[in-house]
Structure 1
Amino acid sequence: MTLSPQWLDELRARTLLSSVISPSVKLIRAGREWKACCPFHNEKTPSFTINDDKGFYHCFGCGAHGDAIRFLTEARGLPFMDAVKELAAKAGMDVPAPDPAAKEKAERTASLTDVMGEVQKWYAEQLQGVAGASARDYLKNRGISAATIARFGIGLAPDGRNALKRALASLGEERLVETGMLINPEEGGKETYDRFRGRLMIPIRDQRGRVIAFGGRILGDGEPKYLNSPDTPLFDKGRTLYNIDRAGPASRQAKRLIVVEGYMDVIGLDRAGISEVVAPNGTAVTEAQLERMWRLDPAPILCFDGDSAGQKAAIRAAMRALPHIRPDRTLRFVELPAGQDPDDLVRSGGREAVEALLAEPEALHERLWRHERDAAPLATPEARAGLRQRLIEHAQAIQDPELRRLYRDQWLARFEAEFATVRAPFQRRPQNRFDKRTGKWVPPAEPASATARRIGRSGIDTSTARALVLGFAFYPEALASHLEQLMHMPIADRALSGLRDRIVDAALAESALDRQKLATILQGAGAAEALDQARRAGGIGFSFTRSDTDPERAVRDLGVAIDALAAEEEIGAALDEATERLKAGDDDALQEQLRLHLAREENKQRLASLVGTE
């Protein structure tokens, strides 16, 4: 069904907004407008205004804003089309008819939700019957009251292959198969049988509160512990969140959304008075589920189990979210005590223990930093280089250009501060450093040696700098590993320096670059002429200054070259320091000088080996 903008405008024009809101909110006349206490957040002084002439509401307290359609979808949780149909009926307008295929699908869906509603009622009756005694004891031992059982519609699937099939035969065997309640064996001639047997049944509802699937928890020993409905015309487990129907309105009141791993965690937090909670349906968090979370809250709090599996699930969710985060949406995390899940925490410490954790959630960038830092020992340069590379790759996954730049800068600054590494080579401008003793960022000191100061002023020679810039222009796949070094390389030639800056900007703005894409960006930035000049100027003939070199070899040689230049700076600074020590009478400094001169010669040979090779 397609609703034109003109039709929707007519619907809004025929709708008196105050009459839509007044059944659920007490309105007070204020001149040409109405005022009320906002239905989207708790307040004592009215800051919610309704303007019938303009057809919109606005809250000056929480920022809620919208028209009649938005009010029904946000305040009452109605799907868009249901809100439109309700307003159209009151306005005396006919909703454009759907195409025949869409109409048939809608009718079939309505029929199947009726079936699932009857199934849920029957399961609930079984729980309260004689056969449900052990299940009721299980729930009682978990602290789940009769009121909670009724609120979540919990039931029991008897331990028999045909109990539901016989009891609800009037619903039609075909529809019970289509909803996933009966299994139809693939082998011909075999009869259908109940999917759920001997399990506590937890209904999964859509945003309108209609039962669309079930999660079944086994009673006693056995595998799997939880069994979910299969995907059906009603249920797509990768796009659905458990408890979305109740968590939606609750999250608007609480101004937060909490994400847990399982059904019993949702129920456990609800027992503590925390209702703004959802859970994925036995799967890792998907992109579609993230989108649904972000519609309710811009920064959901993931509260997964405190065991290894729970923390791995939290990191998987963080990785899944990275490409999709923006300035207006992210994730936050809390880490439960080892071995505990949210339900355990409620039973041991009550709501106070949960709220204490939720009061200080960890930001997404902090959680990923901590995960990567603690993933393995970092005693060797190779391990630390691996950490740095992983952080860069995570930042590159972010699609928003400015956010990608900020994540990268913050992680790399944290890396430098945490491991007290040598200041990045080719530093173009002084960088603040993090003082671990005071916990503050402080301005940089001047380079300790005259050699370091001289290198900082003069930079590397133009011919070598040109070769490196050309190399990154020809083989931009190397940028991810060496962008920081290129970014801080001091280049005296202004045209060449400007070209380098445009390449760096492109790498920070784009998560993936190839040669053609980079050339197009440079053309648009007015840097194409500088690139052509660099090509014509020629100079040192490295493998990566030729556009027809094998890319794998060119990228490798480019990394060797830029690392060699970085090593040259470090060796020069160390030699200067050894010379000062020798002047002060330190006899050991002479051996250090000899070792450093040898290292410098080896480094020069390393760079020279890349020149003029085929």
Structure 2
Amino acid sequence: MSGKIPKYFINDLLFRTNIVDLINTRIKLKKNGKNYQTNCPFHDDKTPSFTVSYEKQFYYCFGCNIHGNAIDFLINYENLTFVESIEELSLIHGLSIPFKKNTISEKNNYFKKQKLYFLTDQMSKLYQKNIISTNSALEYLNNRGISRDMMQLFYIGFSNFDWEGFSKKLNIKKELEKELLIYKIIYINKYNKIYDPFQGRIIFPIHDKHGRIVGFGGRNINNTFPKYINSTETSIFFKSKQIYGLYQVKQQNLHPKYLLVVEGYIDVIMLTQNKIDYVVSSLGTSITKEHVEILFQNTDTVIYCYDGDNAGKNAAWRTLKITLPYISDKKTVKFIILPDNEDPDTIIKKEGAKKFQLRIKNALAMSKFFFKNILKGVDLSSNEDKFYLSARALPLINCISSDTIRIYLRQILARTIGIVDDYQFEKFLYQNKEKNKNIKYKNKQTTMRILISLLIQNPNLSNLVTSIKKFKNSKIKGITIFLEILKTCSENPHFNTGQLLEFYRNSKIINILKTLSTLDHMIIEEKTQNMFLDLLNNIYRKDLEKRQEYLISKEKINGLTINEKKEIWSINKRLKNIS
């Protein structure tokens, strides 16, 4: 993919991007000397092992060894493709991607997305303008208790019952109408009439994290079926990846302590109106693993709040099962199950915000909710039921990545069925003790490996190399890669580690470079330059010594030519100077 976007543009993006700021908007970083640290977001990390270097524009985890530059972080953390990560950085810096001429499909897809962003924004403005002068829509919102402030905060609008009236009322130009048809935001029915799929509905625009409107939710006001609908999926809108209200939450708090997940648009709006400003929704659809990943990327504690009917309770249990693999020592979930026939909208009107806050405070911990549900219908006096309980519970418990939580739940399960399972806990402690003793396998740190790693981690070291002629005929393993990296660094004197690795992203040597970029050579920073020069001299000395050995051997057998005698004299002189 990187071949479809000019390398100069990618390099410029990385030059403009401060990886510390980029990551810090997603994960809280703490200064630690020259670098920044936090718990790794890519594995269950009990101590901060995730390090971000401003100087190198590079991140590395000493626990799971994941590493890379700003582009790699977006790919790994937000599950983006390479091109999507470039789009993300381009958006941050207000740039357009200059696709190469021979990449028509990617270019067309990119500009199609930009057009969709524009058209959904235009439609949202039309819906918002329309609701102000539509009494029936305003009356509906007023009856639901939604204030004008909430209408503005959530960009609430209304679509007329017919497109023709809507178009005339708002003076929609034919050119815009044509584009809306082309991009399938509005349609033509079998009677050759234009219609809006949201006609006759209150409109809830759905924002992405940048505040761009990517789609809509619509609620009828005249009891037509279905009650709610969402936009069809497009290249900018995927229901399984979109969280309603998250943009508004993040506008108030970049790192919310909690996220309260409810089922409906109006639930989000009414709770927000009552000063509970960390409420989101999954667009009325079932929670997906993508939703869970996004939620935990934005908070450490997710509180699910479901309606009190059977459907709500079943949905809560399904949600827990989807969430279990993402729970860790730092990431947890809680549950609020409302009374029968109640939802967040109705109950906050009955009880008020203070009592609802109390429900949040007393939300069921994950472990209590888990066993409350898993024990339903189980007769603990029956051995068969105990076996059934174990067979049902253990696979779910084993989904959890955290050793601590997994063992804790197993202990509860063991006690529940009447087994005191101390052995398992002792085994766990022993395994962790041995794990801490274990020294991870490291590649042999040869002179050339250390030399290349120093250069990758400090590209400005290339300035110390005044000539590469003396290495031209070198046979030392790895010299070709070293000279290649040296040439790139010399031609790009402002490269940092992140930019250098990006330059070689699709090359045959990228995996070698990535490994060496994280090599810990235990060299004090102040001595890096001297070590680099010493290693260069060592390689040069080895080359000279090998040639010297060859000539001495040849002299004993066949004798040397005049030129070879001069060469051995020259080698001896150079070796003396190096020493």
Please give the range of the TM-score, normalised by the shorter of the 2 chains: 0.5 to 0.7
Residue 142 of structure 1: aligned partner: 144
Report the secondary structure of 2:158's partner residue.
strand
| 1:85 to 2:87 alignment | no
Paired letter, 1:100: I
Query: Cα distance, 1:217 vs. partner?
Result: 0.8
**Where does 1:444-523 land on structure 2 (aligned, <5 Å)?**
none
* TM-superposed deviation, 1:162: 4.2
Change (3 A) 1:428 1:337: closer
Q: Displacement of 1:108 after TM fit?
A: 1.2
* 8 A contact 1:69–1:83 mirrored in 2: no
Residue in structure 1 matching 2:308, options 281, 300, 306: 306
Return the offset for 1:267: 0.4
Deviations 1:463-504 (A, max 9, x none): xxxxxxxxxxxxxxxxxxxxxxxx9xxxxxxxxxxxxx99xx
Which of 353, 357, 371 is the matching residue for 1:369? 371
Q: Is the contact between residue 274 and residue 353 of structure 2 (CA under 8 Å) also seen in structure 1?
A: yes
Secondary structure, counterpart of 1:153 in structure 2: coil
Contact 1:306 1:340 in 2 (8 A): yes
Shift of 1:379: 6.5
**CA distance in 2: counterparts of 1:407 and 1:271, whole angstroms:** 39
Of 106, 110, 134, the match for 1:106: 110
Following superposition, the deviation at residue 299 of structure 1 comes to: 2.7
The amino acid of 2:130's aligned partner reads Q
Aligned to 1:221: 223
Is 1:276 paired with 2:281? no
Matched, 1:117 2:113: no
Which AA in structure 2 matches 1:124?
A: Q
1:170 to 1:7, Cα distance in 2 relative to 1, 3 A: closer
Q: Say which SS state the counterpart of residue 303 (structure 1) adopts.
A: strand
Tell me the secondary structure at the aligned position of residue 238 of structure 1.
helix
1:332 is matched by which residue type in structure 2? K
Correspondence for 1:258 among 254, 257, 260: 260
Structure 2 CA distance for aligned equivalents of residues 368 and 355 of structure 1? 23
Of 318, 323, 326 in structure 1, the residue corresponding to residue 325 of structure 2 is: 323
1:412: which partner in 2?
Answer: 413
Q: Is the 8 A contact 1:180 1:232 kept in 2?
A: no
For residues 272-302 of structure 1, what are the alpha-carbon distances to aligned partners after superposition, in whole Å with 9 as ceiling and x for unaligned?
A: 1222222112210111111111111133111
SS in 2 for 1:241: coil
Quote the residue 2:349 is aligned against: 347
Q: Which amino acid aligns with 1:221?
A: N
Alignment correspondent of 1:296: 298
Secondary structure of the residue aligned to 2:312 is helix
1:568 corresponds to which residue? none
Q: What amino acid sits opposite 1:120 in the alignment? A: S
Flag the 1:72–1:267 CA change in 2: closer, same or farther, 3 A: farther
Show structure 2 runs of 5+ residues with no match: 24-32, 35-51, 60-67, 78-83, 432-579
Q: Please state how far the C-alpha of 1:430 moved relative to its aligned partner.
A: 11
Which residue does the alignment assign to 1:199?
201
Write the letter of the residue equivalent to 1:85.
Answer: S
* Deviation by residue 1:541-572 (Cα, 9 ceiling, x = unmatched): xxxxxxxxxxxxxxxxxxxxxxxxxxxxxxxx
Instruction: Look up the SS of the partner of 1:254 in the other structure.
Output: coil
RMSD (Å), alpha carbons: 4.5
In structure 2, the CA distance between the partners of 1:180 and 1:269, relative to structure 1 (3 Å rule), is: farther
1:248 matched residue in structure 2: 250
Distance of aligned partners of 1:89 and 1:177 in 2 relative to their CA distance in 1, 3 Å threshold: closer
Summarize the Cα distance change of 1:401–1:350 in structure 2 as closer, same or farther, 3 Å threshold. Answer: closer
SS in 2 for 1:136: helix
Segments of structure 1 that go 5 or more residues without pairing to the other structure are 22-31, 34-49, 58-65, 433-486, 488-500, 503-614
The aligned amino acid for 2:107 is K
- Within 1, Cα distance between the matches of 2:122 and 2:362? 43
1:231-269 C-alpha deviation (Å, 9 max, x unpaired): 123211111111222223445343222211110111011
Asked if 1:402 corresponds to 2:407, the answer is: no
> In the aligned structure 2, how far is the partner of 1:101 from the partner of 1:14?
27
- Cα displacement (A) at 1:381: 4.2
Greater RCO structure (CA 8 Å; 6+ sep): 2
Q: Give, as a single letter, the amino acid of the residue that structure 2 aligns with 1:272.
A: N
Counterpart CA distance in 2 for 1:157 and 1:247 is 26
Name the amino acid aligned to 2:393: L
Deviations 1:497-543 (A, max 9, x none): xxxx99xxxxxxxxxxxxxxxxxxxxxxxxxxxxxxxxxxxxxxxxx
Which residue identity is paired with 1:197?
Answer: Q
Give the number of aligned pairs.
382
Q: 2: CA distance between counterparts of 1:19 and 1:292?
A: 19
- Return closer, same or farther for 1:262/1:101 CA change in 2, 3 Å cut-off: same
Question: 1:71 and 1:353 mapped to 2: Cα distance?
Answer: 41
Query: Which residue number corresponds to residue 181 of structure 1?
Result: 185
Change (3 A) 1:249 1:105: same
Quote the Cα distance in structure 2 between the aligned partners of 1:9 and 1:257. Answer: 36
Give yes or no for the alignment of 1:209 onto 2:211.
yes
8 Å contact 1:117–1:211 — kept in the other structure? yes
Counterpart residue type for residue 170 of structure 1: K
SS of corresponding position for 2:202? strand
Q: 1:83–1:113: structure 2 CA closer, same or farther, 3 Å change rule? A: closer
Using the TM superposition, give the Cα deviation of residue 219 of structure 1 relative to its aligned residue in structure 2, in angstroms: 0.9
Q: C-alpha distance in 2, partners of 1:122/1:13?
A: 39
Query: Is the Cα–Cα contact under 8 Å of residues 157 and 201 in structure 1 kept in the other structure?
Result: yes
Distance across 2 between alignment mates of 1:430 and 1:100: 59
The separation in 2 between residues aligned to 1:135 and 1:338, in whole angstroms, is 29
TM-score using structure 1 length? 0.53
Question: What amino acid maps onto 1:193 in structure 2?
Answer: Y
For 1:416-443, what per-residue CA distance to the aligned partner results, in whole angstroms no more than 9, with x for missing partners? 3xxxx4x58xx896999xxxxxxxxxxx
Letter in 1 for 2:108: E
The 1:390/1:169 distance shift into structure 2, 3 A limit, reads farther
What letter matches 1:310 in structure 2?
G
